[in-house]
Amino acid sequence: MIRPENAAEVRQLELFATGSETTFLSFTETGFVQRFPRGMVLFRENEPADFLHVVLGGTVELFAGSDKRETTLDIVRPVGVFILAAVLNDEVYLQSARTLEPSDILMIPAEKVRAAMDTDPGFARAIVMELARSYRRTIKDLKGMKLRTGAERLANWLLRADKEQGGTGEIDIRIEKRTLASRLGMTPENLSRAFSTLRPHGIEIDGSRVEIVRPDALIAFAAPDPLVDDPEVSPPAGRPGR
Amino acid sequence: MIRPENAAEVRQLELFATGSETTFLSFTETGFVQRFPRGMVLFRENEPADFLHVVLGGTVELFAGSDKRETTLDIVRPVGVFILAAVLNDEVYLQSARTLEPSDILMIPAEKVRAAMDTDPGFARAIVMELARSYRRTIKDLKGMKLRTGAERLANWLLRADKEQGGTGEIDIRIEKRTLASRLGMTPENLSRAFSTLRPHGIEIDGSRVEIVRPDALIAFAAPDPLVDDPEVSPPAGRPGR
DNA sequence: CGTTTATTTGAAAACGCTCAAGCTCTGTGG
DNA sequence: CCACAGAGCTTGAGCGTTTTCAAATAAACG
């Protein structure tokens, strides 16, 4: 059962905004919100995808790999959905998930999602858009991994983080550096060195705070590319005229 | 205009199999098949996605990057769809496409696809499945890039190629090695060395033919993981009982 | 405080890339 | 049919990047 204040919030989410009331009700009736402590593993890769997850509060890390080698694939913050693809395909998870801080997670039974997709065209459309967006984000990640060095990925991550935090040039790394390193596809040691590499290119580091003191220098180093770095945005409400 | 023999073939494609006849007609009436010579660039990243592409014959390479650094993201063979996500989002392509050999490409106007998605629930469902599958394939690629060395990626590629070609242990690399190198995220020189690395692990190389002489040795080296290496299969016709 | 955990730094090794040269294969023109 | 040019592939050497291992430092937590 999901509480009213949460329901409104979730309904705002693009994925749920265009579906029918019936669809949404089937979710609120069977879905439930659960609060998890920090460091809790929500599920592991290779388990059957039984629930669609929505982050209402906190932070969730999606990761994969064995104990030997592990990598972070994504960081999900409110309000964000994750592992939609596995749920739709009725497949196992490709990624594991753990909370990085105490988090409120809405869990919707996978069969309800699949059923809604078949009965509610508006919801089906929203799913398509959400899927396509996530897919494109992942392709961008893959391009970044294959085309750039670690320091370049970090530089572009910083530029993006700055934008997301208001473009003040004052960035707060909101996750542990080890996690950031894993997200960027490198070791913690290497991230540390990447930061050092960037120092001559217009940044100053103080613990978990980074200041971009010469934006042009950082941009010159990062060479940001919209086709790699721009976040996938929600499609415009109407059909855009090109 | 699309010819009848092609139409039947395309209709077989899972993406088009469950849509209505009306939907399919709108595609065959406005779509067209074109034969391209080898090496032809079909479109470039950053161009607006005007057509959904279907490979009916030949081979298409999806790649990205600037002139300096370029990488192959996928190889598409008949019968395969590509750049579905860009079409649905009405966005620019994230990848460029070129033919690796003379190829027959079916091109369906993007607006027809988007329209069909809104009017034909069966087609919408097929799109969701296709998208989810491609998405998961890309995540697997990303995991492979982040978790494995070049030689390991090659070893697993060989195991997969062998399966696809009948499991005889005789593999025909059907693309140029330079392209394979790019697909696997390394330089041609490095691929050459990766092959040498694998020689003590049960393979013999002769030009574009590779023989797996000691499968167990190769498997031991590759340490294949279903969550990285298994191809995403079409979802079962009925709902699978778990 | 003292203990644990995260981060940084250093040194060595593994990995991957670049450059350059030699080799192989293929297709073409003589 | 042969010679040759061009493209692709391989090999070697050197270099830069990244990882690993180890240790020191800093920060977080009870």
Q: How far is the CA of B188 from the C1' of C20 (A)?
A: 15
Please report the DSSP string for A132-144 in residue order: HHHHHHHHHHHHH
| Contacts of B32 by beta carbon, 8 Å cutoff, 6+ apart | B1, B2, B106, B107
Residue-level pLDDT at B236: 52
Q: Which residue of A has its CA nearest to B228?
A: A94
**Residues of chain B contacting A89 with CB distance shorter than 8 Å:** 129, 132-133, 136, 232, 235
SS3 A144: helix
Tell me if B117 and A135 make a contact (CB, 8 A cut-off): no
Which residues lie across from B107 on neighbouring strands? Answer: B32, B53
For A131, the closest of B94, B118, B131 (CB atoms) is B131
CA distance A44 to A37: 17
Q: Is the pLDDT of residue B232 over 90?
A: no
How many other CB atoms sit within 10 Å of the CB of residue A224?
16
CA distance B26 to B11: 13
Pick the CATH number of A149-222 from 3.40.228.10, 3.40.50.1000, 1.10.10.10, 2.30.29.30: 1.10.10.10
Category of B46 on φ-ψ map: left (φ > 0), alpha (ψ -120 to 50) or beta? left
pLDDT digits (tens, 9 = 90+) for B32-67: 999 999 999 999 999 999 999 999 999 999 999 987
Question: Domains of chain B: which residue ranges?
Answer: 4-144, 149-222
SS3 A36: strand
Q: In the predicted model, what is the mean pLDDT of residues A147-174?
A: 96
Q: What is the pTM of this model?
A: 0.94
Which of these ranges, A98-102, A196-200, B49-53, B231-235, has the smallest mean pLDDT? Answer: B231-235
CA distance A107 to A76: 15
**B6 confidence band (pLDDT: 50, 70, 90):** confident
CATH number for the domain formed by residue range(s) B4-144: 2.60.120.10
Q: Do domains B4-144 and B149-222 have the same CATH topology?
A: no
**A239 confidence band (pLDDT: 50, 70, 90):** very low
Question: Taking each helix axis from N to C terminus, what angle separates A110-119 and B121-147, rounded to the nearest 10 degrees?
Answer: 140
Q: In the predicted model, what is the mean pLDDT of residues B118-132?
A: 94
Q: In the predicted model, what is the mean pLDDT of residues B160-168?
A: 96
Which residues lie across from A206 on neighbouring strands? Answer: A209
Average pLDDT over chain B, rounded to whole?
A: 93
pLDDT digits (tens, 9 = 90+) for B170-204: 999 999 999 999 999 999 999 999 999 999 999 99
**A97 confidence band (pLDDT: 50, 70, 90):** very high
Q: Is the pLDDT of residue A186 over 70?
A: yes
Q: Look up residue A126 and give its amino acid.
A: A
Residue A99 tokens, joined:
């909370």
**B2 confidence band (pLDDT: 50, 70, 90):** confident
Nearest to A205 by CA among A152, A154, A141, A145: A154
